[in-house]
Amino acid sequence: MAIYFHWEQSTADIWQDAFGTALSHVDLRTEQALGDPKDVQFAVVWAPPKGRLKQFPNLKYIFSIGAGVTHITDDPDTPLHVPIVRLQDDMLVQDMSCHILHWVLHFHRFYDLYKRQQAEKVWKRHLYRDNQERNVVILGLGQTGLDACQRLSDLGFKVTGWSKSQKSLTGVDCLHGEGSLRHALSRASILVNLLPLTPETTDLINKETIEMMPDGAFVINCSRGATIVDDDLRQALNTGKIEAAALDVFRDEPLPQNEWYWTHPKVNVTPHAAAPSNERSAAQFIASHIHRALNGEKPWPIVDLQRGY
CATH number of the domain encompassing residue 40: 3.40.50.720
Q: Quick check: 307 pLDDT over 90?
A: no
pLDDT at 128: 97
- Distance from C-alpha of 2 to C-alpha of 5, rounded to nearest angstrom: 10
Q: Are 76 and 100 in the same domain?
A: no
Q: What is the pLDDT of residues 101-134, one digit of tens each?
A: 999 999 999 999 999 999 999 999 999 999 999 9
Q: Residue 309 — pLDDT band, cuts 50, 70, 90?
A: confident
pLDDT at 6: 98
- Distance from C-alpha of 129 to C-alpha of 137, rounded to nearest angstrom: 17
Mean pLDDT throughout 275-286?
Answer: 94
Q: Are 214 and 224 in the same domain?
A: yes
- Residue 302 maps to a domain: no
Q: Is the peptide bond before 79 cis (omega within 30 degrees of 0)?
A: no
- Residue 196 maps to a domain: yes
Name the DSSP letter for residue 100: H
- Distance from C-alpha of 250 to C-alpha of 255, rounded to nearest angstrom: 7
Mean pLDDT of the chain: 96
- Residue 304 maps to a domain: no
Q: Residue 91 — pLDDT band, cuts 50, 70, 90?
A: very high
Q: Residue 260 — pLDDT band, cuts 50, 70, 90?
A: very high
Q: Are 216 and 152 in the same domain?
A: yes
- Residue 284 maps to a domain: yes
Catalytic residues: 224, 272
- Distance from C-alpha of 274 to C-alpha of 150, rounded to nearest angstrom: 18
pLDDT at 24: 85
Q: What is the pLDDT of residues 151-197, one digit of tens each?
A: 999 999 999 999 999 999 999 999 999 999 999 999 999 999 999 99
Instruction: Provide the β-strand partners of residue 258.
Output: none
Range of the domain at 150: 90-269
85, 266 contact by CB (below 8 A): no
- Residue 300 maps to a domain: no
Q: Are 114 and 191 in the same domain?
A: yes
Q: Quick check: 146 pLDDT over 80?
A: yes
Give the alpha-carbon dihedral of 36, 38, 44, 48, to 10 degrees. Answer: 70
Residues with Cβ within 8 Å of 170's Cβ and at least 6 positions away in sequence, in order, are none
**Cβ-based burial of 300 (10 A; exposed 0-12, middle 13-18, buried ≥19):** exposed
Q: Quick check: 306 pLDDT over 90?
A: no
Q: Residue 1 — pLDDT band, cuts 50, 70, 90?
A: confident
- Residue 209 maps to a domain: yes
pLDDT at 258: 97
pLDDT at 114: 97
132, 145 contact by CB (below 8 A): no
Q: Quick check: 308 pLDDT over 80?
A: no
How many distinct structural domains can be found in the chain? 2
Q: Are 72 and 170 in the same domain?
A: no
- Distance from C-alpha of 144 to C-alpha of 59, rounded to nearest angstrom: 29
Q: Are 229 and 107 in the same domain?
A: yes
- Distance from C-alpha of 156 to C-alpha of 248, rounded to nearest angstrom: 25
Name the DSSP letter for residue 210: H
Is the pTM higher than 0.85? The answer reads yes
- Helix residue ranges per DSSP H, 159-303: 181-187, 207-211, 230-239, 279-294
Mean pLDDT throughout 205-233?
Answer: 98
143, 120 contact by CB (below 8 A): no
The angle, 0 to 180 degrees and rounded to 10, between the axes of the packed helices 12-22 and 279-294 is 30
Name the DSSP letter for residue 214: P
Q: Are 264 and 170 in the same domain?
A: yes
Q: Quick check: 301 pLDDT over 90?
A: yes
pLDDT at 134: 98
Q: Residue 10 — pLDDT band, cuts 50, 70, 90?
A: very high
Q: Residue 201 — pLDDT band, cuts 50, 70, 90?
A: very high
* Cβ neighbours, 10 Å, residue 296: 6
- Residue 124 maps to a domain: yes
Q: Are 265 and 142 in the same domain?
A: yes
Q: Is the dihedral of CA 74, 75, 79, 85 positive or negative?
A: negative
Question: What separation, in Å, do the N-terminal and C-terminal C-alpha atoms of the chain show?
Answer: 28
- Provide the percentage of residues in the chain whose pLDDT is more than 90: 94
Helix, strand or coil for residue 279? Answer: helix
- Residue 307 maps to a domain: no
- Phi and psi at 18, nearest 5°, equal -65, -45
Ranges 26-30, 77-81, 95-99, 121-125: which has the least confidence? 26-30
Q: Are 102 and 240 in the same domain?
A: yes
Q: Are 251 and 286 in the same domain?
A: no
Nearest to 71 by CA among 86, 91, 60: 86
Q: Are 212 and 70 in the same domain?
A: no
Q: Are 80 and 104 in the same domain?
A: no
